[in-house]
Structure 1
Amino acid sequence: MARVQEAVAARTSADAGPSRPVERPRFRPDLEGLRALAVLLVVANHAVGWPSGGFVGVDVFFVLSGYLITRGLLHQQERDGRVGLARFFVRRVARLLPAAVVVVAVTASACLLLFFPITSVPLLFDGAAALLSVENWALIRQGADYLDPAGAVSPFQHFWSLSVEEQFYATWPWLLVLAWAVALRAGRWGGSARRVVATCAAVAVVVSFTLSVALTERTAAAAYFLPVTRAWELGGGALLAAAGAACVARLRLGVRPLLVTGLRWTGIGMIALAAVMYSPATPFPGAAAGLPVLGAMLVVLAGEVPGAPASALTLRPVRWVGRISYSLYLWHAPLLLLLPVALRGVAGPDHGDDLLVTGVALLLAGLLAAATYRFVEAPARRARVWETLRRRLRVPGSPRWTRIAGVGVTAVAVVALSVVQWRGPVPEARGAEPLARPEAVASTAQLQDRLQKAVRGTDWRGYDRQLSAGALTGAAEMACMRDPLDGSDGGSAPPFSWTTLPVCLPDPAAPRRAVVIGDSIAMSYVPAVREALDDGWGIAAVGLQSCPSALVRVGEARGRPGYADACRRSREQDLQAVARMKPDLVVLASAESGMRRLASGATGREAAAEWQRGLEKSLERLAGTRARIVVLENPPETTSPVDCAARTSTPAACVRPVSAAWTLKSDAERRAVSEAAARGTDVTLVDTLPWFCVDGGCPVGDGRLIARIDHGHLTADYARMLGPLLRSALAEPAEPGDAAALTRAER
């Protein structure tokens, strides 16, 4: 690569004729103001949820990064005839790493102090991913949805955007050097590095934008973090750096101040419009990202005009916020997430002092950002160690084996840490081994007594075994879930068959067969079903991601188009396959969130009526199997123990009431079971509420075992403990015609 750059430099010098000084890129105060706008949008969105589309501030940052980095590379190429890659990478490290190390170290220490290992260990893996610039890949592996307000949030999660930028920094200079070499060899250099950069950036924008639109439609959650779906935003900034000045000259904007001002305010208006109109339900990035990206590009283009008129972006207070924007971005998320835990033990929206705590967190974020800029960022950029490092990286006389060894050690360390991070704990699939045999509970009355004590719990000592684990252990059957949109025809998941994962299959030699059907909540019940049935049963798990056992059209939290129809078709295929199998027992269960995601948009009693009709259709499909059918109520959604179990809180602070939505869904299922039983179907609904809640309050566990891995899915240990209770319910079925007629209020 060095020889390529030397050849390019020689050819450039020959084409350019006598050397002439190349002006250093002028300072752009308006870009500091644009940084301030971007960071304030993100911070406001994270702090108070308004503007609902404030996440577009990240897209503005991407445009700015692409512009500034490419402008610097072009300046080096035009001034020296080559790009000093060692200088470039050392400057990036000096600019970004010191502040990031400080924030990650402080945040990780706070996590260790505030949380038990069940929470802190996965967060430490996130911290490692943040420092290794792979946080975006870690979030994809975890199945995170950045725009899902109910999803789990890490104090390191915002590092995903910095990871995307740093992946851009790691690849873009090499691509430009290669492009310059190819242009030189093809005889198309033309004396203009900008022409080559503009061509590369334009191609990158077109390819990446096309991928962004396609992948956002198919898998929006992953597309949000992927570098290939974000590259066009950085490429837009790069295109401006290469062709912006020529565009300004052609449009003669320099003699039209009013046009420049209009261009700038149009861009700001586009960014503001996206921030106000967009929401977590907006498919993003995709085509929707075009509005804030084009807006940012217009603002940057307007500032390309020499002597462009001043604006609000160049006011001194605004520029100061822009100057500390990097540190402010780093600090705001950890403080917003961890300060409520430090002050009151539990984070959540149902506390009256939320605004006060949020205000204190923002004030501290601003103060820490200013201090970090003053004492870490600025001094680190000027530190002599970076110049020494740069010289050592490029001194030709240093022993080759020393340089090779240094690069090799660094590469091995990065790869090793990345593998550790990549294989880190995911609560639904990994974690500590489940207990060898959870302590048996003899009756519902005994469990109610435990729950009553757990509601008043003042310490976490009873939960030590699980809290000290690296992560909570979910049911292995979680892996049995298929995606309704993963079918080969693009329309629905493959029909249920006996060729899926072994854990999903029954013992073929078993004289009797049971099938559990539903979404991830149903899969989390499977350990209880296994404990409830004896060795003569073979148990199959038939799961569809976010797709309930009731035949209703539901949307997906991530908003993928076509999901509602694919879910319904896939579920019907599964029910038909199960009917052909002739099982002896069928168990149905569905998440509480399913009734909130009805494609019809129905809410309240209308949603409950639609849910009832859907469950009746499922029971009708299964009636011909002559199997006994059991409908399990879902565990009421409550606070996730990963968020709630803090050293500064008590179990009593984690108790949440049974929601009205859960009651509506439960009553709808009871009515559906009653109607099916009246038609002669052998169906029973098991009242599971006493297994999780007492006197209307739902604790985090029973004082000995934590009940859920998150807001609703059962831990494997707790599900297995419920086995004897489910066995009793299966052995002595209630009279559904009597029980189903009673509403929760009447009981």
Structure 2
Amino acid sequence: MHQGQMAVPAQNTWRRTLRTEFFPTDRRRDIDGLRGLAIIFVVLFHAGWLDGGFIGVDIFIVISGYFIGRSALVQQPFRPMRFVSRRLYRLLPALFCMVAVVSASMLWWVLQSDRADIALNGAYALVYLSNIWAAGHVGYFEGQSIAYPFLHTWSLSLEMQFYLVIFVMALALKYTHHRNRVLIGIFLVSSGCSLYSNHVGHTQGYYNILDRLWEFSLGSMIWIVPRPHLSRAVSNIVCGLGVAFLCGAAFIYPLGFACPSYMIALPCLAVMAIIICPQHDVARKVLGTISPIGVISYSIYLWHWPAIVLANYLLMFQVQGMVMGGVLVLVMIVSLLSYVGIERVFLDYEGRVSASVRNRGALALVGACGGLAMLLSYVSYVSRVH
């Protein structure tokens, strides 16, 4: 009897823990669902199963602009060190572990020419300049991209560069009252750069921060546009149409519609409309259902592409079909472990320690990433020399 009485509370505790972790009440589950949709698109695109899945990155960018715009421009007073440390604790530990594990797993047996490029790409990824490295080395949609396990970190570099722009804007807020005008100006200038790149056929603009800033600023501009007062029915229709369009675009968009392209504005506007809408039936039942995937989407993004690249290297043929399915199942397991064992651990630590300890920890994370970047740069240099 005593054992049975103890089992029920234990079971309830596990349920509460899982519900709190993957269905948090202090977050917008519809936006977590959008993240989940985005990572599904990206993973299926890289698996070769969804031609337009590249729009998942654009969805992530708009969402990132929305949340960072709130953290830096809306919530006052702005606390610079807390803003920086939160970003570092959120991003660096899992990125460091991914680069370290993948480097240790493959750099010692690949060809020297591949080792040199992979190590250098890893070094650039750790200092958030991977998009600059990629723009000078490989087209994202070209066949040789499968040789680089860190190529996907270009979008993380873009995100960190946008954080820097927003950080500077937030610091300047106390000296100016033209925040809205600056955001709109960034949107217009970046849109012009993107359209120009599309006009001249500059495909490497895919990696360029100037060609992408309009997507980030579009997300941040959600905070300055008037919120419409929509009825429950209208909100459900708008949200439903937005989700349907995103799914349709993921299936039918050709590679030519990838940024820089005016067609990529449509999925971004759909994301903006979904975020603006109040959360009603469609948001809760459709997007809320896949919100747990969105919660661990960062870890999935980090680990899925290296797993696909490693599988192609080890098996020496293009991975597809059932083999690709097995790889993706393994990715989900590793990503869940990464989220629970790395992401949450560091975020929880950041939230409970004092400011001085938190800041020293952030510096240690930066130092660790810098040290590994220097080591990989040395490996790249030695591999090229010999």
Normalised to the residue count of structure 1, the TM-score between the two structures is 0.44
Q: Which residue pairs with 1:177 in the alignment? A: 171
Shift of the 242–333 alpha-carbon distance from structure 1 to 2, 3 Å rule, reads: same
Give 1:109's aligned amino acid: A
State the partner residue of 1:58. Answer: 57
Q: 1:320 aligns with which of 289, 292, 317?
A: 292
Q: Once the two structures are superposed, what CA deviation does each residue of 1:445-494 show, in whole Å capped at 9, x if it has no partner? A: xxxxxxxxxxxxxxxxxxxxxxxx4xxxxxxxxxxxxxxxxxxxxxxxxx
Aligned to 1:370: 336
> SS at the partner of 1:228?
coil
What amino acid is aligned across from residue 260 of structure 1 in structure 2?
S
Matched, 1:338 2:310: yes
Secondary structure in 2 aligned to 1:383? helix
Name the counterpart of 2:4.
none
Distance in 2 (CA, whole Å) between partners of 1:151 and 1:393 is 37
Deviation at 1:74, TM superposition (A): 4.0
Q: CA deviation at 1:151?
A: 4.9
> Can you list the C-alpha shifts for 1:496-528, whole angstroms capped at 9, x where unaligned?
xxxxxxxxxxxxxxxxxxxxxxxxxxxxxxxxx
Partners of 1:236 and 1:145 in 2: CA distance? 26
Structure (1/2) with the larger strand percentage: 1
Deviations 1:546-574 (A, max 9, x none): xxxxxxxxxxxxxxxxxxxxxxxxxxxxx
Q: What residue in structure 2 maps to residue 347 of structure 1?
A: 317
Distance 1:27 1:337, change over 3 A: same
Q: Which residue of 1 aligns with 2:324?
A: 358
Aligned-residue CA RMSD in angstroms? 3.0
Once the two structures are superposed, the pairs formed by residues 102-501 of structure 1 within 5 Å of their partners are: 102-142=97-137, 144-149=138-143, 151=145, 153-183=147-177, 196-243=178-225, 247-248=226-227, 251-253=228-230, 256-282=231-257, 284-302=259-277, 305=278, 310-316=283-289, 318-342=290-314, 344=315, 346-348=316-318, 354-384=320-350, 387-388=353-354, 390=356, 431-432=384-385, 469=386
Distance 1:298 1:306, change over 3 A: closer
Q: State the AA in 2 paired with 1:220.
A: H
Larger Rg: 1
Inter-partner Cα distance in structure 2 for 1:112 and 1:431: 13
Asked if structure 2 preserves the Cα contact closer than 8 Å seen for 1:76 and 1:84, the reply is no
Q: Cα distance 1:36–1:126, how it changes in 2: closer, same or farther (>3 A)? A: same
Distance 2:242 2:113 in 1: 46
Structure-to-structure mapping, 1:545-694, within 5 angstroms: none
> Does the aligned pair in 1 maintain the 2:235–2:280 contact within 8 Å?
no
Which residue identity does 2:222 align to in structure 1?
Answer: L
Please give the alpha-carbon distance, in whole angstroms, between the structure 2 residues aligned to 1:239 and 1:282. 23
How far residue 42 of structure 1 moved from its aligned partner, in angstroms, is: 0.5
CA displacement at 1:241 relative to structure 2: 2.8
- The number of residues matched between the two structures is 356
1:237: how far off?
0.6
Matched, 1:40 2:40: yes
TM-aligned CA deviation for residue 153 of structure 1 = 3.7
**Shift in CA distance, 296/384, structure 1 to aligned 2, threshold 3 Å:** closer
2-structure distance, mates of 1:57, 1:386: 33
Q: Structure 2 CA distance, aligned partners of 1:326 and 1:218?
A: 33
Kept in 2: contact 1:155–1:334 (CA 8 A): yes
1:674-710 alpha-carbon deviations (Å, 9 max, x no partner): xxxxxxxxxxxxxxxxxxxxxxxxxxxxxxxxxxxxx
Greater shift, 89-98 or 68-77, is seen at 68-77
Give the direction of change, closer, same or farther, for the CA distance of 1:127–1:330 in structure 2 (3 Å limit).
same
Query: Aligned pair in 2 of structure 1 residues 276, 133: CA closer, same or farther (>3 Å)?
Result: same
The answer to whether the Cα contact below 8 Å between 1:337 and 1:347 also exists between their aligned partners in 2 is no
- Separation in 2 of the partners of 1:83 and 1:336? 41
Separation (CA, whole Å) in 1 of partners of 2:352 and 2:384? 41
Q: Which ranges of structure 1 fall in alignment gaps of 5 or more residues?
A: 1-24, 184-195, 395-405, 433-468, 470-747
Change (3 A) 1:311 1:149: farther
Q: Distance in 1 between matches of 2:214 and 2:276?
A: 17
C-alpha displacement at 1:341, in angstroms?
A: 2.5
List per-residue Cα deviations over 1:707-742 (Å, max 9, x = no partner).
xxxxxxxxxxxxxxxxxxxxxxxxxxxxxxxxxxxx
Deviation at 1:319, TM superposition (A): 1.2
C-alpha separation in 1, matches of 2:384 and 2:101: 25
Deviations 1:602-650 (A, max 9, x none): xxxxxxxxxxxxxxxxxxxxxxxxxxxxxxxxxxxxxxxxxxxxxxxxx
Q: Per-residue deviation at 1:313?
A: 3.6
Alpha-carbon separation, structure 2, partners of 1:223 and 1:153: 21
Q: Is the Cα contact below 8 Å between 1:138 and 1:421 reproduced in 2? A: no
The 1:386–1:114 alpha-carbon spacing in structure 2 relative to 1, beyond 3 Å, is: farther
- Residue 93 of structure 1 is matched in structure 2 by 88
CA distance in 1, matches of 2:114, 2:283: 49
Letter in 2 for 1:228: L
Corresponding residue SS for 2:317: coil
Between stretches 83-92 and 98-107, larger displacement belongs to 98-107
Are the counterparts in 1 of residues 62 and 218 from structure 2 also a CA contact under 8 Å?
yes
Is residue 103–residue 331 contact of structure 1 (8 Å, CA) maintained in 2? Answer: yes
Letter in 2 for 1:331: W
After TM superposition, give the deviation of residue 217 of structure 1 in Å: 2.7
The Cα shift of 1:90 comes to 0.2
Cα deviations across residues 2-43 of structure 1 (Å, max 9, x unaligned)?
xxxxxxxxxxxxxxxxxxxxxxx9621101100000000000
Query: Cα distance 1:88–1:386, how it changes in 2: closer, same or farther (>3 A)?
Result: farther
2:207 counterpart SS class: coil
Q: 1:217 to 1:416 in 2, by over 3 A?
A: farther
Alignment partner, residue 31 of structure 1: 31
Query: Secondary structure of 2:306's partner?
Result: helix
C-alpha distance in 2 between matches for 1:322 and 1:271 = 16
TM-score norm. by structure 2 comes to 0.83
Note closer, same or farther for the CA distance 1:306–1:29 as it changes in structure 2 (3 Å cut).
closer
Q: CA deviation at 1:138?
A: 0.5
Q: Distance in 1 between matches of 2:353 and 2:53?
A: 38
**Alignment identity in percent?**
27
* SS of equivalent residue, structure 1 residue 54: coil
The answer to whether the 8 Å contact 2:197/2:203 transfers is no
Q: Cα 1:386–1:224, aligned 2, differ >3 Å: closer, same or farther? A: farther
For 1:334 and 1:151, how far apart are their aligned partners in 2?
A: 11
Q: How far is the alpha carbon of 1:162 from its aligned partner?
A: 0.6
Unpaired stretches in structure 2, ≥5 consecutive residues: 1-24
Q: Whole-Å Cα distance in 1 between the matches of residues 79 and 237 of structure 2?
A: 38
- Give the Cα separation in 1 of the matches to 2:351 and 2:26: 27
Report the more deviating stretch, 216-225 or 145-154: 145-154
Which protein, 1 or 2, shows the higher relative CO under an 8 Å CA cutoff with sep ≥ 6?
2
| Structure with the bigger percentage of helix | 2
Q: Kindly tell me: are residues 115 and 313 of structure 1, through their superposed partners in 2, closer, same or farther at Cα, counting changes over 3 Å?
A: same
Provide closer, same or farther for how the CA distance between residues 111 and 388 of structure 1 changes in structure 2, counting only shifts above 3 A: farther
1:101 to 1:197, Cα distance in 2 relative to 1, 3 A: same
Contact preservation (8 Å) 2:296, 2:339: yes
- Could you report, residue by residue, the CA deviation over 1:657-688 in whole angstroms, capped at 9, with x for unpaired residues? xxxxxxxxxxxxxxxxxxxxxxxxxxxxxxxx
